[in-house]
Amino acid sequence: MYKISEIVQILHPSRTFITDLNSLVQQLFYDSRKIVQADNGIFFALQKNRDGHRYIKEAYDKGVRNFVLEIDEGQEIEFPDANLLWVDNSLSAMQELATFHRKKFEYPVIGITGSNGKTIVKEWLFQLMSSEYKIYRSPKSYNSQLGVALSLWGLSEQYTLAIIEAGISEKGEMIRLESMIKPTIGILTNIGVAHKAGFASKEEKIYEKIGLFKDAETMIFPNSYLENIQLPYRPRKFSWGFDEGLSLEVYSIKQVNDKLTRVTFYYNGRTFAIEIPFVDKGNVENAISCVAVMLRFGYDSEVIASRIRELQPVAMRLELKKGKKNSSIIDDSYSNDLDALQIALEFLNQQGQHPFKLLILSDIPGVGIHDEKSLSKLKRLLGEYRLDRLVLIGEVLPKLADQFDVASVSYPDTIAFLADIRSFSFENSTILLKGGREYHFERISKLLVAKSHDTVLEINLNALENNLNVYRQLLPKHVKLMTMVKAFSYGSGSFEVANLLQFNRVDYLTVAFADEGVDLRGGGITLPIVVMSPDESSFESIVQYNLEPEIYSFRILFAFLNFLKTRNISSFPIHIKVDTGMHRLGFMPGEIDRLIHVLHGDTVLQVKSVFSHLASAGNERDNEFTERQISLLEEFTKRLEDGIGYSFLRHIAATSGIELWPKGYFDMVRLGIGLYGIDVERHDLPIREASTLKTNVTQIKCLQASETVGYNRHGVLHRDSKIATIKIGYADGYDRRFGNGVGKMLVNGFLVPTIGDICMDMCMLDVTDIDVSEEDEVIVYPDIKLAAKSIGTIPYELLTSISQRVKRVYFYE
């Protein structure tokens, strides 16, 4: 804890407004949504994707009384009992604070960087060295400018070793991370081709990365990546690789079976072998990095061998799945400690789809009866996140049950819980599963998750968030954002995606039909929801569920007016659609006078927005047409505004409009396909595909030339062939036109064609030329644009055709 007076000394703010010099600071906040308990917190208004200054009030209302601000607008008038510190840059200020805090600790700090494997090496070192050291490590993959500052803030006296990740994406970033982390030991995992955008050359990227080791005592690295590179002078070099004369020489790497790799080393005049329980190149490399670190720490090769043998895979994702009986399951098998628990509880807290929240928690190593500090942290966490119920599994936590502020039941082990699981009602609940590996919570998950066949659509929530922010950054501050979640969010889910958008504070959601809106309301969505194609039969639910209809013709306008009048409703929000050239739905520009006549003086309706849709924003040859659409909307809205005497929002741009037509932003834009990361016009935007359709191989057959595969015997074999049957067919949304080689899927890194006609629930792939086993994973659309093109359609159609029987799995990396 720091006193605010100390923080003032550390940060040298350009101006302060201090009302309580003794105010204590322990928690760093930068996101007002994540504040649950504000005690001893300080809020940094960062200028990230959104300007943090807009959320000071929200943080204040939640109880925060210490603030670091960049923009001086005399906020002391509005917050007369807060401590306010104005600085040049809030992020730098947070970093200075982290730097100061870091310097208080003398124990070794390991800094890890590299293109891949940082998190895995960090987690493995934790698994490998925890018996000797009390290890602090960066939570999850917190390795950015902000993430590192937050990570370092968690250092405390109770630890004896820290492991901190450092990740960069452009030149100049590592210097800042290095000066915060000041690692005593540096690890380079590898250098890949990822993230090359921010660097002029591979060399530049390498020099930037090894900048982390500038003042370290030792740097540990795979030699092959740093040949011909001038290494920083100071650190002792601990290199490993195949060449002679390296600190740790690798003699041989042999795959023993499909689960084990044997590596022989030469170190300090001795040879020894280690068996790594992984076979892929990346993980073998990661494990060797760990061997090197352990040697540097003086571990005996036999101890190293026995521990490496027991390495566990690192679960990097937190998954959200649909459960049975209207429940959702959050499956988080990421490390079992209090920091990870807090992150998972935050995620649970974001989920608004069900009324009840339940946590199933196993014992956490280090949280015990005699450890007051971590126990009180656990108590605080369980109290902060309003849980409805708690299931405790293990030997330690059940004994402490009466100290927690939640109704709980306890079981000595997972088996005992499973035996009793029928006595629970999980209906209408979001259930967080958080258990140590040895508790095998995957058994619980299997019972709770709704069954389905093995074809899944995986939706990467980080990618969705990323894409949202990419488009947000294109928009001037005053432009609002409507996001399209019609057609089951372009195939990727309903309330799961909507919840994420709501959490990220978009301004509006839009669906095609009232039913979709009703579902979203049932899933805890409170944002305004626009319904694009309402009909008379849906007016009842529109009113009941507080949805806002698009009004596109006089017929629907009068019908809705009459409906509202019979209910005595006034000022009901509507959105007027104008046809400026798309010629789908909408009032024609010539109908404006009559529209004004109807709406002028009317109190039953309130026009919230007036909008149109661009027909060809992505086609340069139609630029004039697009210009005309924009100016038609401009004229129409001007006249309507004059005619009805009040103002409303105007909008016309969808994804391609957002990318290419800033003059069409008006007051709001409507983001659709870009959010999901596909089929966009501009290629310079760092958006990512959010969904991946996956299935797996059910059976493999070896057949002779001239035999045929599938219905109608269309798949004729011209050579002896190996054929894989996979579990996806046209009933899943895999178009029949993909049959007979038109469709290509990715199996074990290779593209393979379909063979024969696509069946209803299955289809066949020609895997003659590749290595493949039954149950191997298959990526159905390795390139969804190309796939769409090959059957004469667009990615929108492929995505929205993926049938509802395909399970959606949401995850956070």
Query: Is 613 a binder of ligand PLP (CB under 6 A)?
Result: yes
Our CB check for ligand PLP shows the closer of 551 and 767 to be 551
Q: How far is the CB of 580 from ligand PLP (least distance, A)?
A: 12
3-state secondary structure of 698: strand
Sign for the pseudo-dihedral over CA of 335, 339, 340, 341: positive
Told to check if 322 binds ligand PLP by CB under 6 A, we report no
Binding residues for ligand PLP restricted to 474-503, rule: CB under 6 A: 484, 486
Q: Is 486 a catalytic residue?
A: yes
DSSP 65-96: -EEEESS-S-GGGT-TTSEEEE-S-HHHHHHH
Nearest residue to ligand PLP, using CB?
672
Query: Least distance in Å: CB of 694 to ligand PLP?
Result: 23
Which window, 56-64, 165-173, 344-352, 665-673, contacts ligand PLP (CB under 6 A)? 665-673
The CA radius of gyration of the chain, in Å to the nearest whole number, is: 29
Among residues 162, 431, 654, 678, which is the contact residue for ligand PLP, using CB under 6 A?
Answer: 654
Strands 389-393 and 408-411: parallel
Q: Which is nearer to ligand PLP, 147 or 674 (CB)?
A: 674
Query: Which CB sits closer to ligand PLP, 337 or 797?
Result: 797
Site string for ligand PLP, 712-731 (x = CB under 6 A): --------------------
Which of 486, 577, 694, 744 is catalytic? The answer is 486
CA–CA dist 375, 387 (Å, integer): 18
Question: Smallest gap, in angstroms, from Cβ of residue 681 to ligand PLP?
Answer: 10
- Token couple for 743: 């469709």
Instruction: Considering the complex, state which of residue 17 and residue 587 has its C-beta at the smaller distance from ligand PLP.
Output: 587
The answer to the question of residue 670 lying near ligand PLP (CB under 6 A) is: yes
User: Beta strands of 623-756 (E only): which ranges?
Assistant: 649-651, 668-671, 691-703, 708-709, 715-716, 721-726, 744-747, 750-755
Nearer of residues 731 and 794 to ligand PLP, judged by Cβ: 794
Q: Could you tell me whether strands 777-779 and 691-703 are parallel, antiparallel, or unpaired per DSSP bridges?
A: antiparallel
Determine if 672 is a binding residue for ligand PLP (CB under 6 A): yes
To the query of whether residue 471 is one of the catalytic residues in this protein, the response is no
Q: Per CB under 6 A, does 394 bind ligand PLP? A: no
Helix orientation angle between 372-384 and 338-350, rounded to the nearest 10 degrees: 0
Q: How far is the CB of 673 from ligand PLP (least distance, A)?
A: 4
CB of 582 to ligand PLP, least distance (A): 8
Is residue 309 a contact partner of residue 259, using CB atoms and an 8 Å limit? Answer: no
Largest CA-CA distance found in the chain, in angstroms, rounded:
95
Stretch that binds ligand PLP, among 107-115, 225-233, 418-426, 667-675 (CB under 6 A): 667-675
Neighbouring C-alpha atoms within 13 Å toward the C-beta of 302: 0
* CB distance 493 to 808 below 8 Å: yes
End-to-end Cα distance, the chain: 31
626, 655, 721, 754: which one binds ligand PLP (CB under 6 A)? 655
Q: Which of 673, 778, 784, 787 binds ligand PLP (CB under 6 A)?
A: 673
Q: How many residues bind ligand PLP (CB under 6 A)?
A: 10
In the complex, the smallest distance separating the C-beta of residue 19 from ligand PLP, rounded to whole angstroms, is 48
DSSP 708: E
Residue 542 to residues 523, 530, 546, 560, Cα–Cα distance (Å): 16, 10, 6, 10
Region binding ligand PLP by CB under 6 A among candidate stretches 16-24, 389-397, 670-678, 743-751:
670-678
Minimum gap (Å) between residue 788 Cβ and ligand PLP: 14
Rounded distance between C-alpha atoms, residue 287 and residue 553, angstroms: 66
Q: How far is the CB of 675 from ligand PLP (least distance, A)?
A: 8
DSSP result, 541-607: HHHHTT-EEEE-SHHHHHHHHHHHHHTT--SEEEEEEB-SS--SSSB-GGGHHHHHHHHTT--SEEE
Q: Which of 57, 324, 325, 711 is catalytic?
A: 711
Binding site for ligand PLP (CB under 6 A): 484, 486, 613, 654-655, 670-674
| Catalytic residue positions, numbered | 486, 711
